[in-house]
Chains A and B, each alone.
Chain A
Amino acid sequence: MSTQADAPPRRTDPRGLLIKAIRGMGGAILPIAAVLVGTGGTEAAPVVVMTLLVGFFVGALLLAAISWYRLTYTTGPEDIRVEQGLLSLSARSVPYERIQDVSIERPFLARPFGLATIQFETGGGAKDEIDLRYITIEEAQRLRHLVRERREDVRDDERDSAVSLASATRSPPMFAMGPRRLAVFGLFEFSLVVFTLLLAAAQQLDFLLPFDIYERENWVRLFEGQRDRITGSGREGPLLALAGLIGVVALGIVTGIVRTFARESGFRLEHTSRGFRRQRGLFTRTDVTLPVHRVQAARVDTGFVRYRFGWHGLRFVSLASDSSGSSSHAVAPFARLEEIWPVVRAAGLEPPDETTEWRRPLPGPWFWRTIVIASVLALLGLVVSLVRGSALPLAVAAVAAVAIAVGHALAWRRRRYAKDDRQVYVRQGNLAPKLTIAPQIKLQTVEIAQGPIARWRGYASLHLGLAGGTLAIEGVPVAHAGVLREQIVDRIAAVDFSMLAGDPGPRVSGPPSP
């Protein structure tokens, strides 16, 4: 690798100062409006307005000039560096390999000057990307070319992914849901959201109703009126209540089914050479592609009713966000485990089997959390009891504390974790067990975290940095946590990804660097 010298540090284009100053005048709008209202269009108004405009222009120009003077960027042989700041100096280095995308924008104001903004996206968890505001369009293109040149192989790979997707032939799906499956799925998606919406609407629009819904008398009168009308022998009362209940349940079921059909209709998951392709939706049909190497972890979850009937859901955690805004992709929302495991395997992950050595966490974290919560509750109950002069609040607090203790005990009882040569597994949940499978090489950082009690009792939490999600193992004995961390980090360090965690594994061959 040749160590050619850095290019001399550059500044952004000074004409950008003008743009920033003009934009700064936008800040004068509110004061000007205030002045116009205040002076009511007297002769002094134009003078004041001009002064304000000039003042804001000069102020913004000065500020922009200072930050312009203090910002330099350097293109080295391996990275771009930006140094800036007046009081707080910051120097940022972005290696070319880490740059995912370079976007050049030409804002309206910048066009007459032939200027542009350039942004280097590293796609990391950190939102602070490097951007250079107002450089000449030639300079922007030069920088983009420079970045592309350094990592053209990766670019090519991504470019033809779009092409091949468009021309991909329709292969048999890995997983699909027909109307029957959707109907069953819909049953479990029982939702009273419409009912709540109706209630909320009634509250918002109560002025439209002929009576006050908060007045108990009105309801009593209403129901009594109804009862009288239905020949008031008294037997219809419970029947009416039952009918109402059935109505609400039916509404909930219908809502669930309708919503499920709208969202999941025509669900197809294909496994193409480029990754997973998922199509679904009745009204807005979405077509999402998730390259296999972008899969950071798999999560198998379920609900406490559907679990009794053997239904589970599978989602993949990734950095690319799903259309619904969640950062994990539902790839098999309602499926049998036999259907889920092949999809998991297709993502290059292995489901746990008999050889998986499940370990139980120490009960410490759950025990001490219970103690803390119970003490707070007891204290609160005691204080309220003393103030009110009644033992009821204390009794309520005691019942709540017992319930929380039972919940924590059950949560601990079901928690398991395991680590083999390739993956980390975490299993949790009593009534609705969830399983997370994460390949070690996709993890970003490993942290051992200990609070005061944890240090006293000798346990720790292992926080595994997962791109697009969180993964933690609680209650690990300290010595074991250290071992786990070393082994996992050794695995991670053995593989370097060219760019994001999640890109095509170790590069076997690459063009020699210039």
Chain B
Amino acid sequence: MPAADFSKHLDRVDDDSLTPLHANHVKALRLSAAVTAIPLALAALVAEAVGVLPSGAVMLPASVLLAWYVVRLPLRRYRVRGYHLGKDRLRVVKGLLFRRDTVVPFGRVQHIDVERGPIERLFGLATLILRTAGTHNASVSLPGLSEQDALAMREAIREKIRRDMV
């Protein structure tokens, strides 16, 4: 492939064009992290209460770990996530350690789901899920959209599927 092809497409590959998710998504991520961290917190409290080790020997490192897990990690995860709604495709980027950058052309969308879990509803968020016939990545989900955005995107994509077809 001639090298000229590369430069032509480079501007479309870079990450600057990504739309960040709704700011509330960080809060939702933090809340669900907090929920999963409850057992660890309880265990640390119990270990502290038993008092075999000098006071603070368990609680201190546990608090640091918990703070990182509940406050810092969700923020980092939020920052690497993003999407780009093109005229004929949706690009979804996520993954802090294992990065996944997926493009779904609207022409391959079988159906579209909008889901709102309990935590997402608390923050007025929704997850948009595009389902295709593929075996790899049969469904591509985009969490952390505001409810209105998710519904609007669903309508927009549905509209485009329809228009292309006729």
A residues lining the B interface (CB < 8 Å): 1, 78-79, 85, 87-95, 97-98, 122-126, 319, 327, 357, 443-452, 455, 463-472, 479-480, 482-483, 485-487, 489, 492-493, 495-498, 500-502, 507, 510, 512-513
Contacts and interface: CB of A to CB of B under 8 A. Distances in A.
Nearest to A455: B99
Given A124-B132, A124-B133, A444-B132, A483 B6 contact: yes
Interface in B87-130: 88-89, 97-118, 121
A464 B136 contact: yes
A449 B10 contact: no
A92 B166 contact: no
11 contacts: A78-B158, A98-B109, A122-B131, A124-B138, A125-B134, A443-B108, A447-B136, A450-B99, A465-B135, A483-B13, A492-B105
Interface residues of B, number: 51
Contacts of B1: 357, 483
Interface of B: 1, 5-6, 9-10, 12-13, 88-89, 97-118, 121, 131-140, 151, 154, 158, 161-166
A467 B10 contact: no
B134 A467 contact: yes
A493 B160 CA distance: 11
Given A97-B161, A319-B133, 7 more contacts: A85-B116, A93-B154, A124-B111, A125-B132, A443-B108, A444-B134, A501-B108
Given A93-B112, A452-B98, A467-B133, A483 B107 contact: no
Contacts of B89: 489, 493
A124 B132 CA distance: 6
Contacts of B108: 443-445, 465, 492, 497, 501
Given A88-B117, A470-B135, A501-B133, A126 B103 contact: no
B136 A483 contact: no
Given A90-B115, A498-B165, A470 B13 contact: no
B110 A90 contact: no
A449 B100 CA distance: 5
Which of B5, B13, B89, B133: most chain A Cβ within 10 A?
B133
* Shortest beta-carbon contacts, A-B, top 6: A465-B134, A444-B134, A125-B138, A482-B13, A496-B107, A124-B110
Given A445-B140, A450-B98, A465-B134, A79 B158 contact: yes
